[in-house]
Every structure is written in C-alpha cells, then in structure tokens.
Amino acid sequence: MESQLPLFEEISPSISAKNPIESNRRFCKEIEETLLLLGYEESKSESPELNSFNKRNAYEDMYGSKRQSSFLVNSNQHGLVRVEAHRQETSGSVDQKFPFFFESLMKAPESNLVIVFDGKGYKEEAYDWLLTETAKVQDKTFLVFPTKEEFCDWLINKTNAK
C-alpha cells in the first residue's frame, strides 16, 4: 500500500490545477489583461478614474455583508460598470449562485451591472432564469454576457448584450 502513496501525490497537482477557484482567478486575470489591451489602466482609487478599472471593489451584498466584485470599470461609453466574472467549465454549483449574484448586484450603487461568464458548466435553465430576471430590471442596466469577448465588445461599444 505504501508503494502506491506516491502515485496519489503525483495525481494531486493535476487535480488542484482544475480547482474552480483557481480557474476563476485565471479568468479574472484574462479579463484584466484584455482591459489593459483595450487601453484601460488599473486604478488604485476606490472609485476608478475615467478609462480605468480596479479589482475586487467592495460593496454590500444581499445579506448586508461586504462583498468584492471582480471589477469596477469606469468606461467612457458606459460610466461606472460593476462586473462579476465567473468561469464554470464543468457542471457545478455556479448556477445555484445566480440568485445571489443577481440580488447582491442589485444592491450595488452603480447603475451599470454586468455578469460575465466563461464555460458552459451551468444549467441552461438557470442561465435563462438569470436573463429573464435581468431583463425585468428597470432602474439599472443589468447585462449578462456568456463570454469575455462579448463583454469587451460591449464595453467598447461594438455590440449589444443578449
């Protein structure tokens, strides 16, 4: 049995490489790099200057607790845009979090709210529910993008959200 233990140690790093938290961090890093390529600058200010963004900007979630969104972008075309970014490559629990993302973002002070996804690990019914709920919002612009490319195209005013 002891001779097999090293086999498990060899497997462990590849399992952790597929860790959803790490995968999501990589997705946020990809968005950050794309924002920089689009000419946005990273801001250290709590409220980013025009054509800049900051990461992990705090706001109050639906429970009254502090939460950090993935980005707060100050766009020349759209003003302040609060962004939640999530990657779900395989079936998992992200779709169970959709109501939390939705309700929490509705409490954010910004009038432009975005959820951007990567991967197809969510249930289609949950995604449809999210689209239906965001379409009902009247006092804010609440958009959902299935890819970072579509989000970035919207950010620079090339396309409309779905």
- Please give the average pLDDT of every successive group of 10 residues along the chain, which has 162 residues: 44 46 86 94 92 93 93 94 84 73 94 90 85 95 94 80 48
- Would 11 be classed as within a structural domain? no
> Which residue from 39, 34, 20, 138 is spatially nearest to 83, judged by alpha carbons?
34
Q: What phi, psi does 91 have (nearest 5°)?
A: -55, 135
Q: What distance lies between CA 105 and its chain's CA centroid?
A: 11
> Which residue from 110, 1, 111 is spatially nearest to 47, judged by alpha carbons?
110
> Which residue from 150, 23, 149, 26 is spatially nearest to 90, judged by alpha carbons?
23
Note the pLDDT of residue 107: 94
Counted residue by residue, the chain has a size of 162
Give me 62's structure tokens. Answer: 């639906």
Note the pLDDT of residue 67: 92
- CATH number of the domain that residue 79 is part of: 3.40.1350
- Would 53 be classed as within a structural domain? yes
- Would 161 be classed as within a structural domain? no
pTM score, two decimals?
0.81
Cβ atoms of residues 86 and 126 within 8 Å: no
SS3 of residue 144 by DSSP: strand
- Would 36 be classed as within a structural domain? yes
Find the domain containing 59 and state its range: 21-155
Note the pLDDT of residue 149: 93
Note the pLDDT of residue 7: 40
Note the pLDDT of residue 109: 94
- Would 37 be classed as within a structural domain? yes
- Would 42 be classed as within a structural domain? yes
- Would 12 be classed as within a structural domain? no
Note the pLDDT of residue 104: 94
- Would 66 be classed as within a structural domain? yes
Domain count across the chain: 1
